[in-house]
Homo-oligomer: A and B are copies of this chain.
Amino acid sequence: MTVTLADLRQASRIEAEPPYTPHIGVLVAMMYYARLTTLQAVGDLNTKELDTVPSGFSNSVGMLLAHIAAVDRLYQRLSFQGRGVDAQEGESYAGAFTLGKVGKRVQGVPLERLLTDLEAARADTLVGLARRDDAWLATDLQVQMPGFADLNHHWAWFHVMEDELSHRGQIRLLRKTIEAQSSVG
């Protein structure tokens, strides 16, 4: 499924919808729109393009997509479960979460699998948010993060979205560079 600019322009509303409470619903609408823009930015890049790290860049589009999914999964632990990742989870998500600084880099994974993983992670987030309400959203996380002041759940899920949007901006740049290089080569 490719998302076009025209699709984005038809989706330009922020409205809370059931089953979510008003503030959670607004956040879900924002996360949904942000995801559409990520899908639009990625287009239908093939695996080689997803793996490309152009000169001057330190990440590939594939790495960033895996990161976005991993951030959803990390914040499910922090916000819904009140804990950090355990050793096994840490190992499987470390590469994606740290953008390859620790653990394995994402390489050779086709777009379809990256998108399925993004969707699966988000689906779990939405189930968790649908079970909660605006009073919970305003409260603080049960985990302490070293160096951080008290984080509330509203910030946590906003942050998941704002991190995705920031990487979407980077994906747009990466894709432009990759396409310019392949039209030259």
Chain A interface residues toward B at CB < 8 A:
6, 9-15, 22-23, 26, 30, 33-34, 37, 54-58, 138, 145, 147-152, 154-155, 158-159, 162, 165-170, 172-173, 176-177, 180
Q: Is the CB of A56 within 8 A of B149?
A: no
Set of chain B residues within 8 Å of A12, measured between Cβ atoms: 148-149, 151-152, 155, 159
Q: Is the CB of B23 within 8 A of A162?
A: no
Set of chain B residues within 8 Å of A162, measured between Cβ atoms: 30, 33-34, 37, 165
Enumerate 30 A-B pairs (CB-CB under 8 Å) in ascending A order. Answer: A6-B147, A10-B148, A10-B149, A12-B151, A13-B149, A14-B152, A14-B154, A14-B155, A14-B158, A15-B152, A15-B154, A22-B23, A26-B154, A30-B162, A33-B155, A33-B162, A37-B166, A55-B55, A55-B56, A56-B56, A56-B57, A56-B177, A56-B180, A162-B165, A166-B166, A166-B168, A168-B169, A169-B170, A170-B170, A170-B172
10 nearest A-B pairs in the assembled complex, by CB-CB distance: A166-B169, A169-B169, A14-B154, A165-B165, A9-B148, A10-B149, A14-B155, A169-B170, A12-B151, A56-B177
Contact of A154 with B6 at beta-carbon distance under 8 Å, contacts A26-B23, A56-B57 already known: no
Q: How far is the CB of A97 from chain B (nearest CB, A)?
A: 17
Contact of A56 with B58 at beta-carbon distance under 8 Å, contacts A14-B158, A169-B169 already known: no
Report the Cα distance A29→B157, complex, angstroms: 13
Q: How far is the CB of A154 from chain B (nearest CB, A)?
A: 4
Q: How far is the CB of A30 from chain B (nearest CB, A)?
A: 6
Set of chain B residues within 8 Å of A10, measured between Cβ atoms: 148-149
